[in-house]
């Protein structure tokens, strides 16, 4: 059991305390609209090192730097193309990460040695308040991966964070509770280092939205990129149970599908979302629920269509691989 501080009633004072903890080199897990992040001072190598230790994540996998507004972009990135500015204006604060050429302030311990940096302005009010407060006292920003152990399911509640990392956090680390994540899957990642935007990880912000805002067609190949995106490794977002994609009768298995689809006999319904958005929101908690119930397998009938449905499918394929 860890002794990390746990802020269930998040006040202005607790935000200040959490920002001070970051400044002192401790870790702070915090809510965002996508999933919970495990934050550290992006300019403190020792603090960032602990993120990798706690997550058991290979150190060549870069971290996203979370900033409070588009005004901070030029502090962390150079050679920002016009289309990236348009995307930032349209979708920040929100579930989108831009990969840009890094400025000197971004050191190798954040980027895994690459000359690019991932930047995101989250929209969750607690996340924004924490980043603003930390920027005020530190001249830095918050580096944060999802707050799960490497390869596991991303957390969408503070209880999930505790389940994933509680045993590995220290006394002076902090977990901030901000309820359930409103989107439920990680941000869309867009490589903005070439002439055309390229989607590296699908998410709530869709290819159509990116093309209509940037005014150019974008490349969408989240599997073949030379850039390291840990989500593009074989097994990821994976619960202990076997994830089976598509309607099938599996005796004793869990079942997740849109609410109009009936539960097959002798299967355990774990969720009945009534829209694709709700499907994304309950996806990870359903994967966790299957493990809590010690089910051997979980059958998921994915929603059809493009956009967010494809982002859900991307996660399911990785959750079902590499076992
Ligand atoms: O929604 C999200 O993006 C959440 C919340 C906490 O912001 N964060 C998140 O972080 O999902 P993480 O580390 O679990 O996934 C970020 C992905 C990683 O696969 C990482 O390799 C990739 O982004 N990434 C970060 N910086 C990059 C860079 N400079 N170039 C290419 N990929 C990068
Ligand atoms: Mg992750």
Q: Give the mutation target among 66, 145, 153, 156 for probing the ligand 1 site: most ligand atoms within 8 A of CB.
A: 145
What are the C-alpha distances in Å from 32 to residues 29, 107, 147, 220, 299?
10, 24, 11, 25, 28
Measured from the Cβ of residue 242, the count of other Cβ atoms closer than 10 Å reads: 17
CA of 119 to the centre of ligand 1 (A): 9
Record the pTM.
0.95
Token pair recorded at residue 241? 């149970």
Report d(CA 214, CA 199) in Å as an integer.
13
Query: Is the minimum distance from the CB of 149 to ligand 1 under 6 angstroms?
Result: no
What is the residue with the minimal CA distance to atom 13 of ligand 1? 145
Q: Backbone phi, then psi, for 181, in 5-degree steps?
A: -65, 135
238 alpha-carbon distance from chain centroid: 14
Which residues make Cβ contacts (< 8 Å) with residue 304, sequence separation at least 6? none
Determine the atom of ligand 1 nearest the C-alpha atom of 36: 6
CB 120 within 8 A of CB 6: no
Query: Is the minimum distance from the CB of 61 to ligand 1 under 6 angstroms?
Result: yes
Query: Is the minimum distance from the CB of 119 to ligand 1 under 6 angstroms?
Result: no
Q: Give the mutation target among 42, 48, 118 for probing the ligand 1 site: most ligand atoms within 8 A of CB.
A: 118
Digits of tens for pLDDT over the chain (323 positions)? 456 888 888 899 999 999 999 999 999 999 999 999 999 999 999 999 999 999 999 999 999 999 999 999 999 999 999 999 999 999 999 999 999 999 999 999 999 999 999 999 999 999 999 999 999 999 999 999 999 999 999 999 999 999 999 999 999 999 999 999 999 999 999 999 999 999 999 999 999 999 999 888 887 765 544 444 544 455 788 899 999 999 999 999 999 999 999 999 999 999 999 999 999 999 999 999 999 999 999 999 999 999 999 999 999 999 998 55
CA of 202 to the centre of ligand 2 (A): 13
- Sort residue 266 into left (φ over 0), alpha (ψ -120 to 50) or beta: left
């Amino acid at each position: 059991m860890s002794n990390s501080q746990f802020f269930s009633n998040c006040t202005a004072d607790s935000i200040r305390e959490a920002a001070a903890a970051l400044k002192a080199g401790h870790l702070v897990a915090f809510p965002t609209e996508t999933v919970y992040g495990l934050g550290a001072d992006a300019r403190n190598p020792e603090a960032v090192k602990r993120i990798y230790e706690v997550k058991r994540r290979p150190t060549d996998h870069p971290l996203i730097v979370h900033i409070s507004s588009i005004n901070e972009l030029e502090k962390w990135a150079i050679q920002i193309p016009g289309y990236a500015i348009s995307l930032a204006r349209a979708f920040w604060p929100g579930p989108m990460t831009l990969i840009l050429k890094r400025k000197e302030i971004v050191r190798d311990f954040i980027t895994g040695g690459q000359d690019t940096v991932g930047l995101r302005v989250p929209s969750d009010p607690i996340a924004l308040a924490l980043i603003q407060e930390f920027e005020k006292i530190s001249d830095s920003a918050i580096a944060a991966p999802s707050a799960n152990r490497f390869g596991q399911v991303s957390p969408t509640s503070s209880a999930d964070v505790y389940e994933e990392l509680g045993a590995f956090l220290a006394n002076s680390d902090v977990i901030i509770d901000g309820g359930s994540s409103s989107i439920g899957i990680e941000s869309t990642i867009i490589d903005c280092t070439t002439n055309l935007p390229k989607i590296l990880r699908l998410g709530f912000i869709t290819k159509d939205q990116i093309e209509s805002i940037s005014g150019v067609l974008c490349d969408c190949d989240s599997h073949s990129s030379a850039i390291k995106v840990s989500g593009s490794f074989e097994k990821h977002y994976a619960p202990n149970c076997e994830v089976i994609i598509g309607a099938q009768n599996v005796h004793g298995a869990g079942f997740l599908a849109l609410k109009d689809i009936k539960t097959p006999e002798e299967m355990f319904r774990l969720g009945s979302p009534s829209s694709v958005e709700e499907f994304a929101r309950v996806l990870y908690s359903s994967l966790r629920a299957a493990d809590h119930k010690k089910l051997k397998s979980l059958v998921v009938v994915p929603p059809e269509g493009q956009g967010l449905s494809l982002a859900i499918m991307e996660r399911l394929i990785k959750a079902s691989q590499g076992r």
